[in-house]
Structure 1
Amino acid sequence: EIASLLSLCGGQFSGEQEIRVNSPFWILNIPSEEMARGLMKRTVCAKSIFELWGHGRSAGELYASLKNYPTDKMLPYLHSDSTYKVHIHTFNKTLTQAQKIKKIDALEFLPFKGKVNLKNPEHIFWILEDYGMNPNDVPEEPIHLYFGRWIADGQRELIESYSVKKRHFIGNTSMDACLSFIMANHGRVKPNDIVYDPFVGTGGLLISSAHFGAYVCGTDIDYNTIHGLGKASRKNQKWRGPDENIRANLRQYGLEKYYLDALVADSSRPIWRKGMLFDAIITD
């Protein structure tokens, strides 16, 4: 997902760090903070993005890296009129509060001039510590440390707000919300695209694509699914209601204006004229 969004928003994976398999931390080269925010407005896989000020395989390497970071890039966020706080996130290990405070105090060499504000700071800084992936073999010290300024969070709340459990029209194979957003990002869907799902079902992939501003359409061989007829998939509901259909699903999220249509069709028999029709075909 991140690789697709980098090709859409701009940026690339950095060669500065050897990416470990399944590592929760990646270093990216992104031309601007605006592009970084644009990436985070799309991703449901990444939790947060930071402006990296320093990193290393030990605390000493991290501190040396921070001391080499250009002071002129730090000062706009550390001046006397600013407020800030420092968070610590450890992957695969839990620290005591005393340990966290000790690690924060060790950064006293940084030129912080502003006031600490734990409730509503202007700037938030993070220490990120990676203790590997094996919960049965946690090292005493982190295998990699990072320090940076928080820029933006990802869109993981979309997983809950678009949950199939809350959706108006569902079927036995309705696409999970998280997967549908990942697939839309893999398809690099963008505003005003035309997106087609040849096995549309209840329209889960149309919803995620429409969320990103694309106009959506689909086909399915199942007449009852396309028209919202037949037996319901919900517990304690025998038949589908009069307004259970794909259009109603998009209406539920305020996306009806992006809905083109859904047709009953067999995808093994081509129904489209030759030529470029769609910006993306996304299906499962």
Structure 2
Amino acid sequence: MLELNSVEVLYDDVILVLRGLSLEVGEGHIVALLGSNGAGKTTTLKAISGLLDVEDGEVTDGSIRFDGHEIHGRSPDRIVREGIFQVLEGRRVFEHLTVHENLLAGAHTRSERGRVPADLDRVYEYFSRLGERRQQQAGYLSGGEQQMLALGRALMARPRLMLLDEPSLGLAPLLVREIFEIIRRINEEEGTTILLVEQNARIALSIADYGYVMEGGRVVLEGSAEVLRENEDVREFYLGLSEIGRRSYRDVKHYRRRKRWLS
């Protein structure tokens, strides 16, 4: 469904963030994009969704194809209409609108308005807390509820491909598990393809079919979720496991990771 081939992204005409990135997302799959801060994960999503211009970034080389068609250079609203919706890091709900109004905003680009009420009911089925708070202003929701609202708003656009940027950010472990279970259900029940950017590698690989690990703007490791879970480097640097058991990520020397993966 989605193919990035040797993509380079430049910010402010001087900062090269993506350095020949290539990856594929198969239709109906959940694909995890893993990596440390600054690896280029969020930039990858914005290159796909057309949001680089907002931050003075641009794709300077390579191709981004969706269903076999080049989408680089198209406006963000057209990309949404073609079936790609990004849920930004930090939720970004409309705080002064109600839950119900936020969800309606997600359907703004749709032409078939007759199905909107049924889709609202479907969102409230996935997120019962939103149904209980449908007339409440979004700014008064908890962080977990705002993340649910951001996901529900994305569903209202009826995307074929959903780009999720750090959905676990700032949430308690129980809420993280609940939200990732809903993401898995959306993939299975709606048939929505998902590209998931996440630093919590353990939970991302628990629902993903395939994964890529990024460092320095390029892919350094890829494989099925099962293979990545058993990979020694992933276990040590992202799952906190090594031959001597659990260890802090902060205790791992950055140069060791780069030496192993980029040599």
TM-score higher than 0.5: no
- By relative contact order (CA 8 Å, sep 6+), the higher-ranking structure is 2
What TM-score, normalized by structure 1, do the two folds share? Answer: 0.27
More strand by share: 2
What TM-score, normalized by structure 2, do the two folds share? Answer: 0.28
More helix by share: 2
